[in-house]
Structure 1
């Protein structure tokens, strides 16, 4: 333990590393704060139905964990960084079969820059599909009509799709900044901090369900 503390102290003494750590932590805090901002026009006090639906569905629960709970909060960051991850996977798979991408992979830094640009545009394309899907699914996921303060009309749809798209692009930008200016692996760190953020509520829900079920078991982490 003393060696660990000593190592941390040594790292903190290096100005460049210290600045990178501070920048990384700051950007991660910004990401978490943005995840708490609900979509305009939705009453955040009436989202218990969405939370319950998310908790009872394994796939939605996993997605909610990756977004740090933003999915179940109808946040502007509800889609999180996952569209970018999906786009990255698609581009990597296409790199096996598409000659143009294979050529870019062999061009070094300049080629990687172009691949990154392609990934960004593909992310926007995925968002054009996922954002409307999320909006249209909100009523079926447990949000009552009264939660839509300004109605569930075209203006709400348009503004929400724009904000969801902007939220993911902002998360993508934060991840890239952490990678370039921070300690690296920005996208992975954003996913990690999102999962960690859901630990307290997940633990509490698990304990409550066990107590209500009368099992009396204790969840070991």
Structure 2
């Protein structure tokens, strides 16, 4: 725990934040030992915070809200004793520790799970995207990529009535084709929801995953030969 405290303080101070609850500092310390698609979480957090603060200064947004929002946006990724997406867990943790609602909103909205409520949330989202998508930021070995895509497709295919599943765009777009005789129109909506929930719990992915369930019924006729 001493190591986590030390590393957490270093990361927070690098981001310009000096007063945080001890438990939050320990969680931030875990960033040092966590990667996401080859990008170290501590490096990503520090980089994102610097980008966010720079943008905030340019447009006149609340710098301190953005500083905390960037620092804490991925804190849900290092919490292991709560269920939910890393966004949901992060929001829960910040609320428990009494962080301002503006900071909580930055975390809640940084993957567009909810509509943006303020310019600060938009800036945290932009800074996160820039840090995560810049050339060289993330590297995933081909074998790991294939395994991740395969797992996503297998999770989606595990439901009844599925004929084919295809994962596109690094797993962020999943197309599910169902048997129209087994799955009616109402069930397609339920199926999309159930697959999404299962992926949230069991799959690894960056950002969000869009699941599209496709039900197509074709009727054909053949004329008599002449």
Which structure dedicates a bigger proportion of its chain to strand?
Answer: 2
- TM-score, normalised relative to structure 2: 0.27
Greater Cα radius of gyration, structure 1 or 2: 2
Which structure dedicates a bigger proportion of its chain to helix?
Answer: 1
- TM-score, normalised relative to structure 1: 0.27
Which structure is higher in RCO with an 8 Å CA cutoff and minimum separation 6?
A: 1
